[in-house]
Amino acid sequence: MIDFADFLAPGVAADDVPELAPLAAAAPLIAAFITLFRGSEAEVLMRLLVLREIGQEADAPRWSPDALRGRFTYLDTVKLETVLKRLRDNALLEFADDGLYHLSDLGRNAVAAIAMLLRFSADEDTELGFLTAQLAGLQAVGSVTPEALGHLLSKLNDLTWHFEEAIASGSEFRILASRRRLAANERWLARGTEILNGLLADPDVSFDIARVAQRIGLAQSRLARADAGFQRALNKIEAQRVTLGASGISSSDVSAWLRRLDAARLASLADSALSIVPELTLLAGGHELIDRAETVLCDEVREREIDVALPPPDAPDAGLVPEQDDLALLEHFTRRLDDLADAAPLGAIVAGGGFAPAAYRLSLLALLADGETAIPATGPVGDFMRLAVDVTFGDRLVPLEEDGIAAISDGHVTPRTPQANAPAAALPLLDA
């Protein structure tokens, strides 16, 4: 028995609230949904995943524990067992005497309800589609209730209010979005009309059902007229649209661009463009205004205001020197390699001055070992590329522990002799 004492007002018993009776009677079904949706989002999604996968097997609805583990190999075994136990303990999943799992009646009903909600597309109104489909099913089995019709009527009135508010706002974007929403739900409105025609044509339908059905018909009529209201509002907006010069860009395009910007970007655009208080206060009477008008009409002032002459050009800065790259490290490294007498390991050639200069030298050696890079005719880079040395890179790392370098590729730099063959280059590695 559910205890409502903490929620009811003093002196009120649960039997005094008739609206609680149908909910209390459906406690097992409600407990099933509580089981599914209690906990973190990940836990809820995992329970729904397992329950839906078990329920989708129509030809063989019973599962052995090994079959379930094989089906959910992508889930952690312990977590899977926890989910199965939670579903089994709360009557959503049953474990038969033959050692096989299968969905209970409550579990199958829950899976079917969730599947119906998930089938609607993102453009459609999920609530309207679900309510209409539910009403169609109730009509098919002859169990339509005023409560089910009331839910649909409430949704239609809510849509009508939403569309009327969009038209009253005068916002082109809200009107277009509402129009798309109405177009996406046309099939549900048409299906609702068919259901109403069937209900009102039945001579045995109850008065309460007929009364709500007529109100639904009026609500659908208002929605049918909403599209014409959208078009009239868009025509007014089109008449007021402003085109920015001959660019072809309209005020709607500018508004759409502004709507895509975040708050920080909008604030930066408005910076120095708006002032909280007026920067200049003008106090003038009639005589002052007349004097100002006479001055503005003066030919001399008019010519000065329409003067469009360009300002004089600025003198160029003769002392401005183009920025040049600092190639001192390259030139120093070129002289070192040019004076190299014998073969030396990469570590001894590269190290010195820290990790960054060492990485720079290693990249230069890799460029030199490539052999296919175009060589500039002049300049420090060309001098470096024409050095008579061969660079080899091994496929393993050797420890160095110097200048912040933990390890470096095994390789050598060797002065070239006329008989030496160019060695094959490998990918250099430098580990900090």
For 274-301, the pLDDT digits (tens) are 666 655 555 556 666 666 666 666 666 6
Written as six digits, the tokens of 139 are 């009509």
Same domain, yes or no: 138 and 37: no
Residue-number span of the structural domain to which 371 is assigned: 328-431
- Interacting residues of 411 by C-beta distance below 8 A, sequence separation 6+: 345, 346, 391, 392, 393, 394, 426, 428
Kindly state whether residue 393 falls inside one of the protein's structural domains: yes
Domain closes at, from 96, 118, 140: 118
Tell whether 9 is covered by a domain. Answer: no
Q: What is the pLDDT of residues 376-420, one digit of tens each?
A: 767 788 888 888 888 888 888 888 877 778 888 888 888 877 544
Q: What is the rounded CA–CA span in Å between residue 422 and residue 303? A: 79
150 within some domain: yes
| Listed residues 177, 211, 239: the one ending a domain | 239
User: In terms of domains, do 134 and 231 share one?
Assistant: yes
What is the tens place of the pLDDT at every residue in 75-133? 888 998 888 888 888 888 888 777 888 888 888 888 887 777 776 655 556 677 778 87
Q: How many CA atoms are closer than 13 Å to the CA of 188, on its beta-carbon side?
A: 25
Q: How many domains does the chain have?
A: 3
**105 and 81 housed in the same domain:** yes
**pLDDT tens-digit profile of 6-57?**
888 888 888 888 888 888 887 777 888 888 888 888 888 888 888 888 877 7
Residue 143 lies in a domain: yes
Same domain, 197 and 216: yes
Rounded Cα distance, 72 and 81, in Å: 11
Q: Whose CA is closest to 361, among 341, 391, 399?
A: 391
Please identify, among 61, 83, 118, the residue that sits at the C-terminal boundary of a domain: 118
Structure pTM?
A: 0.44
**Do 352 and 424 share a structural domain?**
yes
Q: Is the pLDDT of residue 312 over 50?
A: yes
Residues 134 and 95 in one domain: no
Q: Who has greater pLDDT, 210 or 281?
A: 210
- Do 336 and 423 belong to one domain? yes
Q: Considering the domain boundaries, does residue 23 fall inside one?
A: yes
- Residue 344 backbone phi and psi in degrees, to 5: -135, 145
